[in-house]
């Protein structure tokens, strides 16, 4: 189907999908911690809006619950927790050194191309309006992984991990209009518990190695001197 023949709502869904992808790139390019958390929160907001729009267009009222859950958890609660952690650990003004920022962005762009090729067979099987966004959701997952690979600070890696979860949620919404509610609730609370655990883990890490740089976990350290 031609893009111009879609209804404005369908076009808006695809536009929001593109902006979700763009927030992934913003996270990839953002070296500072607090703006990184903000970008992550915006991605959660956009995902919730997209899900609500999909619910409205395809008449799937149960997706409203997913959208609300996503908004409450990934746009408000988890970013707030991460922000509070960053302030309490006194790393909220830190800059992370990203080696080769432009190269990372280009790698991200090639991941988008890759996920497009991966998604072609799925797209051809599907008849949904949102089928073209499947490639975008795979790209968001891969970009989250790339964020985890390129960063050294544990908190950025946690954000990468959460954005992988965003991508999975998005994939479920656009390819099958959401997972069963039990699964969705389970995943949502898993993510919440993970966020809490990561907080504890940050404090442990700082206790033992005085830094949140995961590279320093490789080094051996004498305990009794």
29 binds another protein (CB under 8 A): yes
We find the least distance from the C-beta atom of residue 61 to another protein, in angstroms, to be 25
Kindly state the smallest distance separating residue 205's Cβ from another protein, in Å: 30
As a whole number of angstroms, the distance between CA 28 and CA 40 comes to 11
The nearest distance, CB 68 to another protein, in angstroms, is 25
For 64, residues 6+ apart whose C-beta sits below 8 A from its C-beta are 52, 55
The answer to whether the CB of 37 falls within 8 A of the CB of 159 is yes
Is the CB of 107 or the CB of 187 nearer to another protein?
Answer: 107
CB of 135 to another protein, least distance (A): 5
CA distance 122 to 124: 5
Residue numbers 8-27 binding another protein by CB under 8 A? 8, 11-12, 14-15, 17-19, 21-22, 25
Alpha helices, H only, 59-88: 62-70, 78-88
Residue 10 vs residues 2, 119, 200: alpha-carbon distances, Å: 12, 19, 42
Is there a contact between 145 and 168 (Cβ–Cβ < 8 Å)?
no
By beta-carbon proximity to another protein, the closer residue of 114 and 201 is: 114
In the range 128-167, which residues lie near another protein by CB under 8 A? 131-133, 135-136
Using CB under 8 A as the binding rule, whether residue 4 contacts another protein is answered as yes
**Distance (Å, whole) CA 127 – CA 193:** 36
The residues of the shown chain that bind another protein, judged by CB under 8 A, are: 1-4, 8, 11-12, 14-15, 17-19, 21-22, 25, 29, 101-102, 105-106, 108-109, 112-113, 116, 120, 123-124, 131-133, 135-136
């Amino acid at each position: 189907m031609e893009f111009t023949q879609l209804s404005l709502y369908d076009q808006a869904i695809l536009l929001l999908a593109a902006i979700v992808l763009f927030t992934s790139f913003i996270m990839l390019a953002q070296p500072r911690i607090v703006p990184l958390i903000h970008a992550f929160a915006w991605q959660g907001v956009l995902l919730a809006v997209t899900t609500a729009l999909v619910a409205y267009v395809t008449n799937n009222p149960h997706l409203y619950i997913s959208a609300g859950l996503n908004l409450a958890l990934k746009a408000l609660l988890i970013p707030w927790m991460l922000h509070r952690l960053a302030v309490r650990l006194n790393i909220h003004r830190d800059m992370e050194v990203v080696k080769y920022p432009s190269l990372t962005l280009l790698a991200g762009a090639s991941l988008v191309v890759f996920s497009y090729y991966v998604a072609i067979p799925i797209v051809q099987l599907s008849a949904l309006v949102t089928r073209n966004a499947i490639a975008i959701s795979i790209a968001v997952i891969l970009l989250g992984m790339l964020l985890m690979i390129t960063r050294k600070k544990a908190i950025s890696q946690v954000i990468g991990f959460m954005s992988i979860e965003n991508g999975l949620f998005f994939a479920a919404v656009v390819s099958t209009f959401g997972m069963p509610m039990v699964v969705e609730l389970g995943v949502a609370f898993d993510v919440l518990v993970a966020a809490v655990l990561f907080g504890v883990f940050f404090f442990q890490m700082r206790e033992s190695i005085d830094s949140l740089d995961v590279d320093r976990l490789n080094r051996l350290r004498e305990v009794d001197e």
